[in-house]
Structure 1
């Protein structure tokens, strides 16, 4: 597959925003968020600068796993509305210039899915081969994804008279995705949502798609990518692949990037938190330098937080304990022995300098930023929900009114809880921050505008700029579209540094070049003298510059 038109590569410079319809806005006041509520808040996302909305699972589901236990791939949960309401969200989003992607969860179904119900009831059913069955449990079965909850991956089913495989929870039987009949059904699911206008899929738990050692998962991914490309020339597959870089690269497609279009950068994410714990940028700097080069059509997704636990499983045990001690000192703030159930602001004690530095950094790194709902206003988690992913899945905080403006239902009837205490809606909400030019919401809007005015961040080559301070990450991103430079300070006290731009991809010297401060209040260009920039960084400070070449028409 060869892509030559950059309009087909919209994901290279997109700003993604992930939300769960259930937690966003309840329009009919039954205690559950719905499509109609979401449609009424798409202007908020457009004003923020979001260009791609990623919807968490909204399909029919018993919701024993936040909707990832799907009982019908072709329908919407009636609590959120119906497919007509979904289409209205799609139309409104497109009118606001936003693309929409949805979750593709085909590792497993709910045990309430008709496929599994028919499979367990009748060994001759065509759906029996949709799942993996055994008469006994193998001695060498792998560990379950949730070892503190499940004691293995095989579960006896009395009705079926056999064991079925479940890599995740017991109520989520694995689909036999190595079989063509299952792949054909998955293709129908993909085709259905593409026909309704979605722009691609976030693919759940990619390394668990096929449990074989012969590379069959890559053949499957190539087939999926080819199908999406045929049905939608600009469709994206954003994969969840929490593996080291060398293994992640395989899931992009070893030869020409023809498997996953994008992947979340879990390596840099975990090293970011280690760097924050140490107040030393070195772990993140080393991770970014180790990033493998990608094919032109591929991209990294950079993120601070997501809907699951903040996983630290790629850190060593000692490194993980460092991060635990710094940001999750209480056992109830940890989960599965590998992750943290908190959002960023409470982990950083609400320090606005540090919070802004982190988001500035994420937007400045080569790739596309991915926000989790509520991050734009600094939402916290519910500390009363101990040891659970639900701690970060609370109601969106729109106003300081009861229930945070999420719903007029009685508090006892709310499905998503409301954050209590110091991070409650009366202290943190959209309405308040919309009228405050110094708010985090205002800062995040500036970040999205600055990011979109520097397309080289999504397209260019990354370089670390030499400077003497371990607590500082200074880097450039250079392409034919322009040259971008940023510096971020992980320490609480200020630093002075001198940056040499002649080593950042600039050819032929820097005579006549000027720099423009992209996040500061002074838009006046400053000349570069002898290819160098003198920089003052405050404690937890962040700076962005666009380097303007002679004759270049600047956007900032």
Structure 2
């Protein structure tokens, strides 16, 4: 039993609705995910993260849950989920599902009952007010929602919603709500999931504390205890967009979250990419607190939401937007970009490759977004974040091999125009082409799985005196690693003068360098523009 499996994993994020349509009704489903598990295993993934498949009106991509204990018919049924879990286990793939408990859909039975009567037992499941408080958080979607409070005629009160008005916030300080959450967790644990992603985890904590974050961390302690007693290998992965100095509050002392999505690294990674300067990212890495022994960070390049640029300075935000989202239609929520990875890098294979090399080099566990491994693009004709939620491009046939349904019945249109159109960018073509992005990322992922020190060791950013070059050293789990990446288009000569290094043995590189293989320390070696080199280090005997 490997209770720390998540610290040396490659997680692949699957949007259930857009991945593959097994019953040809136009919507991706659980049966479609199951059908392509071997593809994910071949890529090098060891776990999949499924976006919501629960009963839903689907006004927010399934994050508006109507019933956490039902599979929405458009995605299949419980038997389909059981078969997916069974087949994933046979392939050695773990399955992480969403635990969307900061809010529900307004169509959820709890909310409908709560609206009817102030004396309903469900009334206390949500947050109500006769008058909204004078000071509260701004809405999560500025420009779409004006306030986090909306009036409900049936209830005769205002209700709180951090996100959309059709997603009322749960009262996580209510003991009955916690009991409902326990029922949901036990149900899916019994079916065999390996982890839960806590959507909007920092907001959950605040709501559990009655508006006070510090007073709400007991919720994470409770959830950790609850899953650990029943299935010790189960993980809690939290969506927590807070400054790194607060990470320790969410990890606790190995008694809260197992994993935390590091928005700070994500933002500064794109700042470094935009400036072709590794120093912003190096500074962010150096500023990370060391997680407790049973915890780690999770990192990604792009996900199912916008590229969030909050917390960057105005000048930093401007640099990222000028580099990766210069057109107004690429912006969303006054804080981010609604673009896919490949298009942000102008489909430049070298730049995309070094971005992945950086991702796989960061402290923690990497997450790959479906379709990014083949270079899919976005559809800016779709509203808000839906721009980055389009059908997976499996081949060059009609509907990109996603579905046999009529094109106008698809959950979202396939990308058929531009350099990222499905006829040019698809899995089938990528598998045939020896030097495709798919093969490159697959090789990188499999190599990364052998680098256990990244998940469980201590890290240190090394000074190279070259602004564009990022060099991270890892020590732990019986190995020492050096990961080097050049974020500029100019070749660099890197010197490593660590006194305890005897030699460097190359693990992976963007090309076969003339002196690849083994280098003696002190070492000086070239790295191409947008190049990368990974080494295992042999240390001098004490």
- One of 477, 483, 486 as aligned partner of 1:486: 483
What's 2:233 paired with?
234
Question: What CA deviation, in whole Å up to 9, does each residue of 1:502-532 have, x standing for no partner?
Answer: 3xxxxxx444x45133345589984443x32
Q: Which runs of 5+ in 2 are unaligned?
A: none
Map 1:400-411; keep pairs closer than 5 Å.
Answer: 400-411=396-407
What's 1:246 paired with?
245
* Contact residue 466 and residue 500 of structure 1 kept, 8 A: no
Deviation at 1:97, TM superposition (A): 0.5
Question: What CA deviation, in whole Å up to 9, does each residue of 1:321-352 have, x standing for no partner?
Answer: 21111111111101011010001111111111
Call closer, same or farther: CA 1:523–1:29 in 2, change over 3 Å: farther
2-side partners of 1:289 and 1:550: how far apart?
25
Question: What CA deviation, in whole Å up to 9, does each residue of 1:201-241 have, x standing for no partner?
Answer: 00001111133226232011100111011111011000000
Deviation at 1:370, TM superposition (A): 0.7
What's 2:537 paired with?
547
What's 1:49 paired with?
44
Range with bigger deviation, 480-489 or 357-366: 480-489
* Contact residue 302 and residue 341 of structure 2 kept, 8 A: yes
Map 1:22-421; keep pairs closer than 5 Å.
Answer: 22-209=17-204, 210-211=206-207, 212-213=211-212, 215-253=214-252, 256-385=253-382, 388-419=384-415, 420-421=417-418
2-side partners of 1:550 and 1:58: how far apart?
53
Whether 1:536 and 2:513 are equivalent positions in the alignment is no
Call closer, same or farther: CA 1:490–1:191 in 2, change over 3 Å: same
* Contact residue 374 and residue 438 of structure 2 kept, 8 A: yes
1-side partners of 2:396 and 2:18: how far apart?
16
* Contact residue 105 and residue 204 of structure 1 kept, 8 A: yes
What's 2:441 paired with?
444
* Contact residue 155 and residue 164 of structure 1 kept, 8 A: yes
> Matched residue of 2:70: which SS?
strand
> Matched residue of 2:122: which SS?
helix
> Matched residue of 2:240: which SS?
coil
Call closer, same or farther: CA 1:510–1:317 in 2, change over 3 Å: closer
Deviation at 1:27, TM superposition (A): 1.4
* Contact residue 20 and residue 55 of structure 1 kept, 8 A: yes
Deviating beyond 6 angstroms after TM superposition, the runs of 4 or more aligned structure 1 residues are: 522-525
* Contact residue 74 and residue 189 of structure 1 kept, 8 A: yes
Deviation at 1:138, TM superposition (A): 2.2
Aligned-residue RMSD, C-alpha: 1.7
Deviation at 1:480, TM superposition (A): 3.7
Range with bigger deviation, 409-418 or 96-105: 409-418
* Contact residue 447 and residue 507 of structure 2 kept, 8 A: no
**What TM-score results when the alignment is normalised by the length of structure 2?**
0.96
Range with bigger deviation, 352-361 or 256-265: 256-265
1-side partners of 2:164 and 2:157: how far apart?
17
2-side partners of 1:41 and 1:237: how far apart?
25
2-side partners of 1:484 and 1:525: how far apart?
16
2-side partners of 1:262 and 1:375: how far apart?
22
> Matched residue of 1:518: which SS?
strand
* Contact residue 272 and residue 280 of structure 2 kept, 8 A: yes
Deviation at 1:466, TM superposition (A): 2.2
Call closer, same or farther: CA 1:120–1:378 in 2, change over 3 Å: same
* Contact residue 367 and residue 458 of structure 1 kept, 8 A: yes
2-side partners of 1:219 and 1:233: how far apart?
19
**What TM-score results when the alignment is normalised by the length of structure 1?**
0.93
- One of 495, 498, 504 as aligned partner of 2:492: 495
Call closer, same or farther: CA 1:133–1:533 in 2, change over 3 Å: same
Call closer, same or farther: CA 1:516–1:327 in 2, change over 3 Å: closer
Range with bigger deviation, 109-118 or 473-482: 473-482
